A and B are shown apart, each in its own frame.
Chain A
C-alpha cells in the first residue's frame, strides 16, 4: 500500500463532517463568479508610471513642477521624473504595458488593468491597513477574514485563508470576527511542508502510531461524552481531532511542491515569489478560499531612490511568476473561478524624490485583476496627464473591496457583523461595485 492510500485508509469512514462554526451555514448572497481569491501584494507601493500607466507628458515636462502636481505626499518632491521604460501595446485591445513586464504583456488578454485606484493615506502602515480592512487603524478584520466569515471554506482539512508572507503583521487579522477566520501564515515556502505549518507533523510518531494514539484519545473522549450525556463542545472536539489528523496529510500533500513536474516549477521560477504563486495554485485547487501572497520581506517596492535600477532587478521574477500563475490556472480551467488581484498599498509620484526615486502616492495608482469573472484585455480608468491623481472612472479602495466581494458572491452592504453596538461592514458606508470591469 502506498503512503497516500494508507493515509486514506486511516481516515476512512470518518466522513467529512463540518465543524461547528467553520461553515456556520455560510452561503453567498448570489451566484458567485469566483470561488477563490489570490492577492499578489506588492508591499511598498509599486510605480504605476513605470509599469502599467504610460505618461508621455512626463518626458515633455521633465524636471518641471506644474501646479497640478503640487499634491502633498509624505516627503518633499522635486520635478517630474519621466519613466525610463518603453511601453508597447499588447493583446487584442492594445493595452499598454511596460517593457519590464514582457510575460504579463503576453497574458494581458486575461488582465483588467485598473489605472484609477485611489486611497486615503500616504503612509505605509495606515495605507496597508486601508487596503486590507478598509480602515486606517490596524484593528479591523481583513478582507480575507470577511470572505472566510461570509463563505466558509470548501476544504475542511485545510485553512480557509492562507497567507504567504515572511513578515509579521496584523494585516490578516480577524479583528472582531471569530478567530477561526484569521489568516494562517506560512512564513516561507520550504521544500518540506511541516516547516511551513506550525505543529503540522508529529516528530515522534509515524502515521500509524499516531492513529493508534488518537484512537485511544477518541475512545476516552467518546466514553467521557457518553457519560456526561452529550455535549456540543465534546462532539465538536472529537471532530476537530479527526480533522486535525487528516490536515496533517492534506496540508503535507498541498504544500509539497516537489510533486509538481519540473517544467511547471520552472515556469513559475525558483524564486520565493515564484514558489509562493505555485503554492497558491495548489491551495485554490484544493478548495482554499483565499491566498494572500506578499512579495518579498519588508516593503521592497518602496522605491524612494534608484527606481530604475530597483525595478529592473525586481520585475523579472514578479513578471514571470504572476504570468505563470495566470497561464497555469487558465490551462487547468481554474482561472474562471479564481480572482487574482495585484497591487500595493498605493502607487508612486510622477515627481521625483532625491532625483532618481518616487514618493508615495495614494491619489491615483494601478492595480490589476485577472480571472474570476472580470474582463480581460482591458484598461479601466485614467489618471491625470502625469499619473498623479485618478481622474476618470475613479476606483476607491472601498470600490475595490465591494467589487472583490461581489465576484465572490457577497453583497458588501449585506455582509455585516454586529460588534460594539453596531453592524460593521468591510466597506463601512462606502463602496460601489465597479460593474464596467465585470465580464
Chain B
C-alpha cells in the first residue's frame, strides 16, 4: 500500500501540472496521519498540532539562515525541534480530554505569538516571517515531503499491527487495566506524542523549504490544525488509510470549490464535522467496516 501511495505521488506530477497542489496535498496527508498517530491511537486530540508544524518550519529555516546548514539536514533538524517542543509540553499529557486539547491550542498560540513578536525580529523575522529562498529546490522538497508522508503512514501501520500497537489499544480502552497488564503507559504515550510531533515538524520543515518565503501565520495558522483534524476524522482515525483517504478527498474538494471563496468551503467542512460527529463518528471508512470489510 505504501508503494502504491509512493508511486502515485511520483507519477502524478507528470500527468497533472499543478505540482504545488500535489505538494500541499501530501503535506496534509502527512499532517492528518501524524495527528492520527496521536488521536487515533491514544485518544489525545491536539488542537494545537499546528504548533509543531510551525516549530518545524522555523527550526528548519533558522538552521539554514543562522547555521548555514544544508536544507535536507535542516529538515531533520526541524523535526527534532518540534520533538523538543513536545518534550517541553510533555506535562500536558497529564490532562484529559478537552483540557488537553485546549491547553495544547493555547501552547501553539504562545509559540506563534513569541515567534511573530516584533521584539524578536532580529532572530525570527517577527511578523515579517522568514526567507530561505537561497536553498529553494522544489523537486527535492517534493521528494522529501513524499518520504515524510510515507514514513508517517509506515508508523501508522506499525501501530496497527505491532505489539506496541496492541499496548496502545489496551491503554485507550482502560488505563488502569493496561497498567495492570504491565504496560508503561507514561512512556508509551510520551513516545507517541514525540513521534507525532516530529512528523508535524518534518512536514513543517519540508513545507517551509518548498514555499521558502513565508509569514508566521502561514505555518502557525489554526486552520492547519483544523484541516488535519477534519481530514483525519473524515476518513476515520485509528486506521492507516482513513487519514490518507480523508486528506486526499477533502483537499481535492477544497481546491475544486474553495479557491475563489474559501468561506464556502469553511462553511461546508464545518457542517461536515457536525454531521460526521452526529452520524459517523468513526469516519467514512467505518461504513466499509460495518459491511464486514476490514480496513487497515
Whether A associates with B in a native complex is no
- Report B's interface with A, CB cutoff 8 A: none
- Report A's interface with B, CB cutoff 8 A: none
